[in-house]
Chains A and B, each alone.
Chain A
Amino acid sequence: MSEQLPAILLVAPLFGALLIGVASPGDPRRAFPIVLLSLSISLAATVALLTKVVSSGPVDYFLGGWAEPLGIGIQLRVDGINALILVFIALIGLLTAIFSYRGPDDGEPTDKAPLFYILYLLLCVGLLGITITGDAFNVFVLVEIASLTSYGLVAMGSSPRGTLAAFNYIIMGTIGASFYLLGVGYLYMRTGALNMAQIHSLIALPEVAASQTILVAFLLILVGVWIKMAFFPLYGWLPNAYTYCPSGASGILAPLVTKVSVYVMIRVMLSVFGAGWVFQSAGWSQTVVWLAVIAILAGSFIALAQVELKKMLSYLIVAEVGYMVGGAWLANHWGMVGAIYHILADAAMTLCLFLAANIFVKHAGGGRIDRLEGLFRRMPVVAGAFVVGALSMIGVPPTGGFFSKWYLIRGGIEAGQWPFVAALILSSLVNAVLFFRIFEVAHFGRKPADGHHHHPPHADGEPSPEQQGTIGETTGSDRKPRLTAVAPLVAAAALVLLVGIFSGPIVEIIRGALQGMPHVGAAAPLIGR
């Protein structure tokens, strides 16, 4: 059965979604176990796949058995890089699913909760599918699955601004996906192939490599994925969509969607066009690194001006995307390793911060930072997890954020890209200012005089998780966070630390996968010593 793992990890959430549609109309309590089971199967499959890839190298899987000749069917390809990302997608999917035990809005279960779970599971299918596929056109289909489910998840909240944000998201998302599709069309026109490995071998031919069509195809695909990942000038859709969507949705959209788009960019650069082709002219990578510098600085400083917690975090995502794009375009080994490692570290810390922010916003009765006063003392566990996420964002060891910055800065120094190094350090400082401002308000701030919640004036420590769970269950009060909200958050904080502590083995897997990439000669600086 182990050779069927790539299919199993996709099929499990797909059937979960279908089963919910057939079996449980309007009953979230029957839908939830299905979600949990299918994502657990998926997670188990991804972990098994990762161990298999680490022990015996990349895995190829041919859908429909169409392996020979290469390119007539659709190929799935798993190497060390995407095996790691698959594990993170399944894990984050599972954690956020537990967090949204009560349906999309973390309130009373509604009739729309089963629909939410269907879209949620299919979003997981889309993200897993984008990551695992080895076919350029198949990426488009799965990007559309991930996008359509995201539009639905953003728009199904109760906030009118969320609906408007979803509309802008659709317009921008469609332009992005269409550019990608058009880029694949240009590639197909010049090479006659859709399989990534096949396109790669054809682009190595000199008459194809020099053609203007291939260049335009690359630019189209690049701009398309930049829109999807909210790279700096094209980020307009992101902040409102992530701020005003239901809390369960933001818990999966924020950590994963932009990161998977970054992965698509890296996959296209390495496996379709090849590092040798992409980095052939130094002027190119210089321009993109400058764009990344602007993205990092703009994201950080706009975040500094925000008064709403979730919006501030959304702008930080824009800055983090700059890290990854910049790292990937440093055109050297450590930059690429840092960018890929940062996909994982950033997914973990964004998950942690967004889950904590969702709990804060719900209990503070509003999204503004100045309403967080005293929340740290009321919810020490949540506060602790939030601090872990924040320290990772700032880049304090031993969190994942520290190591990704370490590799990125190392790459920046080796490439001599000093503005990028400076932007990374400056962004760390800005993040420190941002988060210490929040710590100050939330820890030392006075309680609001008008008291939108009637909590007792003395703040005793949180009851044990079990106790909390039962309180939340029985009274339905939102005074104390529920166990199903706190447990995934704690797991997310642990994940941030684990990514940091096990950065050595993770980086070894990434480096091994990079060394396994074809055409070592042309891309020698990228592969490393």
Chain B
Amino acid sequence: MLTLDGLHIRQGSFELKADLSIGQGRKVAVIGPSGAGKSTLLGALGGFVDIVAGRMICAGEDMAKAPPGARPIAMLFQDNNMFPHLTIRQNVGLGLRSNLRLSAKDEQQVQTAIDRVGLSGLEGRRPAALSGGQQSRAALARVLVQNKPLLLLDEPFAALGPALRQEMLDLVKDLVAETGATLLMVTHAPEDVARIADDVVFVDEGRAQAPVPAAELMANPPPALRAYLGS
């Protein structure tokens, strides 16, 4: 579904290379030490970090040259996932129509997504009037209406407490199961990997390694990963 072919990213003196392939509908955790380039990898996929060479084939097409909005990707960042001056309904609606010209059918779809993530009745509020967990739910409602084949999560739930974060991961798991999207998520926590991931991409020393089945890897981590996990 996603193939990174000779991908080479350079940011100043930082370099990252990736040659890997991820199957349709897989849920992949991207782990690695701080500063290894996990967010940079997702940034390159999203179109925010320049690549020096290589191809990024997603859904059969090389998207390396496409602008961020034209890629078959929905992405949530660490923060700023909502426009604070717009209502939840408008924020979700932007996932469907970037000019917010919503038909009655679109409105219905937006409402359905809001209901699906459990925010019924809150659609008229602005993000600041919602709790952290509710804001995450709203962002996921937008991901739902965006209906893109690839979902990138760059630690959007990092600021939530452990229980809330697990709740969100369960919701993400359900949503990608419903839409059939492929998931790529950055995480620091081994328990997140156990909870949601089929595969793990380990990023270290300038390389994003090919995905390995999560259970297998976590049960028997190679030395570098063992050093990172500290167990």
A and B part of one assembly: no
